[in-house]
Amino acid sequence: MVSALGMAAVLGGCGLTGDSGEVTLELVAADYGDSKATSSQRYWDDLVEKYEADHPDVHIDVTVHSWNDIDREVKERVAAGDPPDLAQIGAYADYAAKDLLYKADDVLSIPVQADFVSQLAAAGQVNGVQYGMPFAASTRVLFYNKTLFAEAGLTPPKTWDDLAAAAEALKARGVKYPYALPLGPEEAQAETMQWLLSGGGGYLDTIGTYDIDSPENVATFTWLKEELVGKDLTGPVAPGKLNRADAFAAFADGDVGMLNGHPTLMKTAAAKGVEFGMVPTPGVNGESKATLGVTDWMTAFKKNGHRDEIGDFLDFVYSEKNVLDFSRRYDLLPVTGSASEAMSAAEQDKELKPFLDELVLSELYPVGKTSWAEVSAEIKKRIGQAVASGSSPAAVLALIQSAATRAESAE
C-alpha cells in the first residue's frame, strides 16, 4: 500500500473507441503491493492481457492508486461527473445511496454472485440489495512472539486474564511492548472493533443501530484502561498515538510480545527472522466468539453504460483461478466460496488457514451505512482518549455514540 503509480486517465465519459463497436472499460484500482515489483498494476496488466486475448472488441484500461489516494481520487471523479466504469475501493454506500451503481445482480452471472462468502456479500448490501462486490478480505488473529513467550515460560492466551498475565510476565523480562495496542488514527477502528467483539459487544445493536456506549463496550474499555494501559503493559507509546503500521514494524523488530494482526504481518515478521505463533483472539471467558473481518469492494458505475461488458469482465475477475492468484500474491483471503475451499485444501496455503477459519466467525464494519465513514473518523479521533490516564471510558464512548446518532439520523 504505497505511493500511487499514476493518475487515472480521463476517457471523456462515453467509453467507446472509434466507430468499430469496440468498448473500452476503465477500472481504477487500489494497490496492495509494497514496491513497483509487487504493485497491483502488474496483477491487473496480466489479467487484462489474458481477458483481451479472448475478447478483442473489449479493452480494459486499468490505473492503480495507493490506498492513501484511491478513495479520494474516485470521489473527485464522481463529483466531476466522470466516474470510471469500475472502481476497486474501500467503500460503496455513498455511491449506492445516490443511485450511481449497478446492482450486483445487474452485472454478475448468478453462479458468480452466489459464490461470494455469505458474510462478505451481506456486508455489500444496502436495504437488502447488493451493490458492493467484495474483492479482497482479511481477518484478525492474535500474533505472539514465540521466542519471547518461550523465554518467559508462557503459553498462548485464551482469555483476557491470560493475556494480562502474559503481558505482566513479558514486562518483567523487559519486553518493550508486552501487548501493542494501536489506537492511533491510522486504523483505530479495527483494533477497537476487535476488542469490542471479544467483549461480547460491537458497533451495532441487534437491530443494526449504533450502540457504541453499550454496557459491554464500556466494560471492555474499562478493562483495557485498568488492566493493560494503567499497568504499563502496552509499551512506551500511548495507545492513542500508536498506529497499526508502527505496531507491526515493532513486532517485526522483535519488540512486541503480542498484538492483533492480519495476514500481511506474517511475511513482514518472517522476513526479519521473528518466530511467531497465531491463535484466535482471546475473549472474556475463552476464545472470542467473533472476530473482525475486513473486505474491500468492487463497484460498477452506471454512467457510461456497458453493463454486459462490465459483467462479462467481472465474471472473469471472480473466477476461482483469478481470485486464488490475487489472494496468494498479497496474503489475503479469497472472497468466494470456491476459492476459499481450494485454499483450505492446498498445502501451499497452510499459513493462511488460521485466518480462513476465522472468516466464518467474522463480523465486518457497518459499511452499508452511509454514516460509517463519519463514525469511523470519529472513532479514530477519540478512542485513544478512552484509555488515557484520568479519562472516563464511558464518557468517551458516549461522545462517539452521540456523533454516531447524529450521523445515522442524517442518512
Model pLDDT for residues 153-165, shown as the tens digit of each residue: 999 999 999 999 9
pLDDT tens-digit series, residues 307-358: 999 999 999 999 999 999 999 999 899 999 999 999 999 999 998 988 998 8
Q: Do 158 and 267 fall into the same domain?
A: yes
Strands 133-139 and 291-300: antiparallel
7: pLDDT strictly greater than 70: no
Q: Are residues 84 and 188 in the same domain?
A: no
Question: Higher pLDDT residue, 275 or 91?
Answer: 275
More confident residue, 282 or 187: 282
Residues 110 and 161 in one domain: no
The pLDDT of residue 2 is 33
Q: How many domains does the chain have?
A: 2
149 and 127, same domain (yes or no): no
Domain span at residue 33? Answer: 16-137+294-364
| CATH number of the domain residue 306 falls in | 3.40.190.10
252, 375: one domain: yes
- Asked if the model's pLDDT at residue 227 lies above 90, the reply is yes
Per-residue pLDDT at 3 exceeds 90? no
Average pLDDT over residues 277-296: 94
Residue 8: inside a domain, yes or no?
no
Sign of the Cα pseudo-torsion (168, 169, 170, 176, in order): positive
Instruction: Judge if 272 and 386 occupy the same domain.
Output: yes
Q: Are residues 88 and 211 in the same domain?
A: no
**Residue 17 confidence (pLDDT):** 40
Q: Verify that 181 and 274 share a domain, yes or no.
A: yes
Mean pLDDT value of segment 370-381? 93
Predicted confidence at residue 10, as pLDDT, reads 29
My answer on whether 321 and 231 are in the same domain is: no
pLDDT (tens digit, 9 = 90+) per residue, 32-71? 987 888 899 999 999 999 999 999 999 999 999 988 889 9
The answer on pLDDT for 16 being more than 60 is no
Mean pLDDT across the stretch 121-145? 94
39 within some domain: yes
**6 inside domain:** no
| Average pLDDT of the segment spanning 203-221 | 96
Q: Is residue 4 part of a domain?
A: no
**Is residue 2 a part of any domain in this protein?**
no
Please report the pLDDT score of residue 180 as a whole number: 98
Please tell me the pTM assigned to this model. Answer: 0.85
- Residue 311 inside a domain? The answer is yes
State yes or no: pLDDT of 116 exceeds 70: yes
* In a domain? residue 5: no
Question: Mean pLDDT, the chain, as a whole number?
Answer: 92
303 and 182 housed in the same domain: no
Measuring CA to CA, how many Å separate 268 from each of 7, 248, 261, 272, 322? 29, 8, 11, 7, 24
pLDDT over 80 (residue 14): no
How much is the average pLDDT of 99-121? 96
Per-residue pLDDT tens for 254-273?
A: 999 999 999 989 989 999 99
Q: Is residue 286 part of a domain?
A: no
Are residues 50 and 193 located together in one domain of the fold? Answer: no
Same domain flag for 258 and 186: yes
- Position 85 scores a pLDDT of 98
Q: Which of 17-21, 139-143, 241-245 has the lowest mean pLDDT?
A: 17-21
